[in-house]
Amino acid sequence: MFARPLAFTLFAAPALIAAAPAGELAQVQQHLAGVTSMTASFSQTDRNGRVLTGTMTLKRPGKIRFQYQKGVPQLIVADGSSLYFIDYQVRQVDRWPIGNSPLAVLLNPKRDITKFAKLNPTGDPRVVSIEVHDPAHPEYGRITMIFQKNAAGPAGLMLQGWVALDSQNNRTTIRLANQQLNANVSDGVFRWNDPRSRGPRNR
């Protein structure tokens, strides 16, 4: 049996965190606002060091799909309102409101990250790292997003990946490659087959 992927719980935050300069936070906010869709290959490392690969498809607002490599009978999909973890091996589906996941910062274009974000020092002027969590809801976990300065990306940034830390301190690292931004993505990508019944679902 496969361990449960935690792609929706995210690089580990350095112990030292300072308030982010308004300019860099605004740059990240502008970048996120400028991304309507993304496709990318991903590499996921879980708390046990197991590595899985696959393809991520994102469409804002509210939609994301982690399609794992062949042979992994699991899927993570957000359909605009809920985030689903589907395990086809045991025919189980778990569901959470998107707002309860660290991924909400990526999926909600209206969310003002400047109210929740702090800057992580990187030692590299080409890299911006921000940690986002809601102090009022520590049970939602936290996400540390890594951006590389790139003139080809919206607001001069490109998302390289993230680290999710859930409320039990389980860490999952996602690294992205081959990012393609703002192409047309069909809503059909975010439908899925329910192992408990027959036919595709979109909610």
pLDDT band at 181 (very low <50, low <70, confident <90, very high): very high
**pLDDT category, 12, cuts 50, 70, 90?**
very low
Q: Residue 177: which H helix or E strand, with range? A: strand 171-181
For residue 201, the model assigns a pLDDT of: 56
Residue 135 pLDDT: 77
- Give the residue extent of every domain in the chain: 22-184
Assigned CATH topology for domain 22-184: outer membrane lipoprotein receptor (LolB), chain A (2.50.20)
Say if residue 199's pLDDT is above 90.
Answer: no
Instruction: Kindly write down the DSSP assignment for every residue of 87-152, as one continuous string.
Output: ETTTTEEEEEEGGGSTTHHHH-TT--GGGTEEEEP-S-TTEEEEEEE-TT-GGG-EEEEEEEE-TT
- Whole-number pLDDT of residue 203: 42
Question: Is the whole model's pTM more than 0.85, yes or no?
Answer: no
Residue 101's pLDDT band, with cuts at 50, 70 and 90, is confident
Q: How far apart are the C-alpha atoms of 86 and 76, rounded to whole Å?
A: 6
Can you tell me the mean pLDDT for 171-190? 96
Residue type (1 letter), 118: K
Provide the percentage of residues in the chain whose pLDDT is more than 90.
59
Whether 192 shows a pLDDT value over 80: the answer reads yes
Residue 169 in this model has a pLDDT that exceeds 60: yes
Where residue 127 falls among pLDDT bands split at 50, 70, 90? very high
Is the pLDDT at 194 greater than 80? The verdict is yes
Q: Could you read off the pLDDT of 37-70 as tens digits, one per residue?
A: 999 999 999 988 999 999 999 999 999 999 999 9
Asked whether residue 95 carries a pLDDT value surpassing 80, the answer given is: yes
Q: What is the mean pLDDT of residues 96-108?
A: 84
The pairs formed by 141-144 with CB atoms below 8 angstroms and a separation of 24 or more are 141/9, 141/10, 141/101, 141/102, 141/165, 141/166, 141/167, 142/10, 142/13, 142/102, 143/10, 143/102, 143/103, 143/105, 144/10, 144/11, 144/12, 144/13, 144/120
Indicate the helix (H) or strand (E) that contains 23. helix 22-33
Q: Which of the 8 DSSP states describes residue 1? A: -
* pLDDT (average), residues 105-132: 88
